[in-house]
Structure 1
Amino acid sequence: MELKKPTRIVFGTLTVLILLFIYLPLLVVVVNSFNGSTTLSWPVRSLTLQWWSKALSSTGLLAAVGTSLEVAVAATVVSLILGTLCAIALQRYEFFGKSAVNLLVVLPIALPGIVTGIALNNAFTTMLGVKLSIFTLIVAHVTFTIVTVYNNAFARLGQLGRHVEEASADLGAGLWTTFTKVTFPRIRTSLIAGGLLAFALSFDEIVVTTFTAGQNVTTLPIWIMNNMFRPHQAPVVSVVAVVMVAISLIPLWLAQRATAGEER
């Protein structure tokens, strides 16, 4: 269907306005990371790189980055394993309660983060008596990062069908051989995309992290919240925000490329 010129102009204008509304605040954050003022005054009257050097020399900040990377990598690995197993079980086999299990797997990504955080905090501290730590934080992140892997793998398995796997079984291959030689190579790019999305979700998560990290665990989002309103720390926080945007965009871009390459 070809749109008339006035309609194209209206749609184009609305698209530009929406994109500006979404991304202009990010541009302001980027500019403020070079702001010479400590109060983030606007408009910017001078530019400096001192906040970038200060951020790179902050031991607390670097430790928070390391913690966020550790949690994100661990959550991604666990999500890849559990998400793939769930996708294969729910896509390839029929059993009682299948629809209910499918709903329960994807439900955490739909729930508000504060609800998930409160529920997990109560489960760890009250029901199980477990002290909040980096372990509980990783478990909490897995509850929602697993959904990205599961959805990608489930959709890809549905597109492929079962005929090749059934042919492998007819030729005498076992479940493990069929998975490693037939199934996994065909869903590999979907798992990569799901894993990258899981990493991006875990790296910048703040709400669930606040309720499940404990007092001795400081991730990068928590560090930002703690330093946002401290004197002379706002420009450094802007630097960290720019870095977080870059780190979050790279996995998303790679996931999009992997998915696009698979479709082609």
Structure 2
Amino acid sequence: MILSRRVRWALGALTVLVLAFLYLPLLVVVVNSFNANQAMTWPPSGFTLEWWERAANSEGARDAVWTSVQIALVATAIALLLGTMLSLALQRYRFFGRSTVNLLVILPIALPGIITGIALNNAFTGILDLRLTVGTVIIAHATFCIVTVFNNVQARLRRVGGSLEEASADLGAGMWTTFRLVTFPQLRSALLAGGLLAFALSFDEIIVTTFTAGAGVTTLPIWIFNNMFRPNQAPVVNVVAVVLIIVSIVPIWLAQRLSGDAEGRP
């Protein structure tokens, strides 16, 4: 498609405006993490590393980070196992209700977080009569983390087809041998990309966490929400928010690179 010079300039200007709208607020958060004024006045009157030191020495922030990391790691492991099994079953086999199961697997990430949170809270506290703990948060996060792994693995399985697996079976290899030597090597980058995305989703999730975490469970997003309106904690919250931005960006960037590298292979 050939675009006129005027259209190209208009599209370029629109792109800049959209990106500015999305990322300028994040830039303000980053700058405020070094703002010497505790009231976060703008423009900054000076810059300091005091808030970064206070954040590093904040026991509550450190505990919240560790809790979020633990939950994200376990939820990602569950998502990798179940998401891979589901994608293999739905992509390699034909059975009654296959399309319905596919819809039900994807549905949790399409539903509003507050609906998922309320439903899981009712299930845990009402139907199952469980006490809300770190375990309930992990289960809740796994419900939507599975979708990211499932989508990545299913897309890869569609792309590579099943001819190599059939050839392996024809040569006498069993199911597990075929998976270990043929299927898994083809899925490695998709699994890693899906796992990174699942970790990022779990690490910064707050809505579902709010409904499924007990009183003693404080993840990093919840800690930020609880402290952002306290004047003496606002600068520290900005620092923690910057760390959260970095932790969220890195897995997504790596996942994108891995997906791109895999698609570029012959």
TM-score (norm 1): 0.99
Amino acid across the alignment from 2:150: Y
Structure 1 residues 205-253: Cα deviation after superposition (integer angstroms, max 9, x where no partner) = 0000000011111000000011011131111100000000000000011
Distance 1:174 1:195 in 2: 27
**Match of 1:73?**
73
- Structure 2 matches for 1:180-219, cutoff 5 A? 180-219=180-219
**Match of 2:173?**
173
Distance 1:162 1:31 in 2: 51
**Match of 2:154?**
154
**Match of 2:134?**
134
**Match of 2:255?**
255
Distance 2:99 2:40 in 1: 51
**Match of 1:85?**
85
RMSD over aligned CA atoms reads: 0.6
Measure how far apart 1:120 and its partner are.
0.2
Amino acid across the alignment from 1:113: G
Measure how far apart 1:135 and its partner are.
0.4
Bigger Cα displacement from structure 2, 8-17 vs 157-166:
157-166
Structure 1 residues 102-156: Cα deviation after superposition (integer angstroms, max 9, x where no partner) = 0000000000000000000000000001100000000000000000000000011
Structure 1 runs, 4 residues or longer, greater than 3 Å off = none
Q: Number of matched residues?
A: 264
Amino acid across the alignment from 1:245: I
**Match of 2:8?**
8
Unaligned stretches of 5+ residues in structure 1: none
Instruction: Give the secondary structure class of the aligned counterpart of 1:137.
Output: helix
2:226 is the alignment partner of 1:226: yes
Unaligned stretches of 5+ residues in structure 2: none
Structure 1 residues 37-89: Cα deviation after superposition (integer angstroms, max 9, x where no partner) = 11111121121110000000011110000000000011111100000000000
Identity %: 63
Instruction: Give the secondary structure class of the aligned counterpart of 2:36.
Output: coil
